[in-house]
Amino acid sequence: MRTTRPPPPQARMDILLFLYQSIIWFFAGVLTGLTSFGGNLFAIPLLTLAIPVRDAILIGCLCSTVKVVTLAFLYRRWAPWREVVFLGVATLPGVPLGVAFLQYAGSRLLLFAAGAGLVIFLLWQFVSGRLHVAEKPISRWWSVPLGLAGGIMMSAVSMGGPPVVLYAYLRHWSKESTICGGSLTVIITMLFLLPAQWNAGLYTVPILKDALFAALFGVCGILVSLPLVHRINILFFRRLLLGIIALSAFMLLMRGFLA
């Protein structure tokens, strides 16, 4: 009688790693679709438990590109085109700075930088909940410093959302305009960031393969979230996500200290 041999240990580990990454990116897509923010903030810290932090950041950049294209298409009616151009162009000087950091920083510094990005986001969420926004929106020229900060953070740790969300909030954008405008801003950044990362030799075949599946499951998560938006308590999901992000920030900073 012929027996079937079990897969070797390395093959089992590869399957488990694939399932782990796929589940993370699927829920990152769901959370992005439900709350309009936090996909990479949720996913990258969890990925660093299984893969090198630089690989997680690069996969996050590629996956984000596909997700923001999807969101920009779905919310294209609310695009604040003129301001997106200002904000997107302002991110570009930050691209070479962030790429250089990602290319030459060690794992410990990358962990600290990713953890600091999460802390900044959490501080912004805390302050924005208690901030009384003036009746008059801030000047468009604020797109320059906030866009630059977003470009650096996106290029260095794939977490460029907080400065862009801050600009949208202080400019009194609607939720739909924030989703679309933020997505279009990231698209402009990625048009320059991805080639810069490629020219720096940061991408490998395994990273590209993992990013392909990450993008597929991330988009599936976004599509699953669409019929749930009006059926689920979004405030609960935001609080749950913030709790996960707080735990992730603590984890990244502790791993940085122990590295």
Name which of 72, 78, 76, 65 is nearest 39 in CA terms. 65
Report the chain's terminal Cα–Cα distance, integer Å: 51
Structure tokens at 216: 């597929």
pLDDT digits 0-9 by tens, 109-159: 888 888 888 888 788 777 766 655 556 787 888 889 989 988 988 888 888
**Residue 204 Cα distances to 49, 81, 207, angstroms:** 20, 35, 5
Q: What is the pLDDT of residue 1?
A: 47
Is this prediction's pTM over 0.85?
Answer: no
Q: What is the pLDDT of residue 94?
A: 92
H-state helical runs in the chain: 9-35, 39-47, 53-74, 81-91, 94-104, 107-128, 143-157, 161-170, 175-199, 205-225, 234-258
Give the chain's residues under pLDDT 70. Answer: 1-12, 35-37, 128-135, 234-235, 237-238, 241, 259
